[in-house]
Amino acid sequence: MNFVSWAFIILFLVVLAARLTIGRRKTEPAYEGVLIVAGAVFYAWHVPVFLLILLASTSVDYWAALLLFRTPDHQRTRRLLILLVSLGTNLGLLGVFKYGDLALRAVGDMAEFFQLGPRPGTLGWVLPIGISFYTFEAMSYTIDVYRKELPPLRSFPRFFLFISFFPHLVAGPIVRAGQFLPQISRPRRLAWPVVSEGVWLLTTGFFLKMVCADNIAQYVDAYWPRGYAADTDATMAGWLALMFSAQIFADFAGYSNIGRGAAFLLGYRLPVNFNAPYIAGSFKGFWERWHITLSQWLRDYLYRPLGGNRAGQRRTYANLMLVMLLGGLWHGAAFRFVAWGGIHGAALALERLFGLHRSPPRGRHWLVTLLWFGVVQVVVLVAWVFFRSETVANGVQFVANLIEFDFRMPERIMLSSGLFVLPIVVHHGWSAVEERGYVRPPGPMFRAALVGAMLLAIATLSTSPSAFIYFQF
Q: Give, in order, the Cα–Cα distances in Å from 339 to each of 53, 104, 198, 310, 382.
A: 30, 20, 37, 26, 11
Give the residue among 312, 302, 292 at the shortest CA–CA distance from 252. 292
Instruction: Tell me how far apart the alpha carbons of residues 258 and 427 are, in angstroms, rounded to a whole number.
Output: 17
The span from the CA of 235 to the CA of 197, in Å, is: 40
Q: Helices 366-388 and 392-403: crossing angle, nearest 10°?
A: 140
Alpha helices in 332-461 (DSSP H): 335-353, 366-388, 392-403, 412-416, 418-435, 444-461
d(CA 238, CA 373): 18
Asked if residues 306 and 322 have their Cβ atoms less than 8 Å apart, the reply is: yes
State yes or no: cis peptide before 173, omega within 30 of 0: yes
CA 80 to chain centroid: 29
Contact between residue 13 and residue 138 where contact means Cβ atoms under 8 Å apart: no
How far apart, in whole angstroms, are the C-alpha atoms of residue 94 and residue 337? 16
365 is catalytic: no
- Which of 172, 109, 145 lies closest to 330, judged by CA? 172
Which among 168, 291, 331, 427 is annotated as catalytic? 331
Amino acid at 448: A
User: Distance between CA 273 and CA 258 in Å, rounded?
Assistant: 12
* Closest by CA position to 135, among listed 57, 47, 79, 35: 57
Determine how many CB atoms are found less than 10 A away from the CB of residue 242.
Answer: 17
The CA distance from 79 to 417, in Å, is 56
CB proximity list for 395: less than 8 A, separation 6 or greater:
228, 336, 339, 385, 386, 389
Give the torsion through C-alpha atoms of 358, 360, 365, 370, to 10 deg: 90
Calpha distance 161→146 (Å, rounded): 21
Question: Contact, 255 vs 171, CB < 8 A?
Answer: yes
Q: Is the peptide bond before 187 cis (omega within 30 degrees of 0)?
A: no
Catalytic center residues: 331
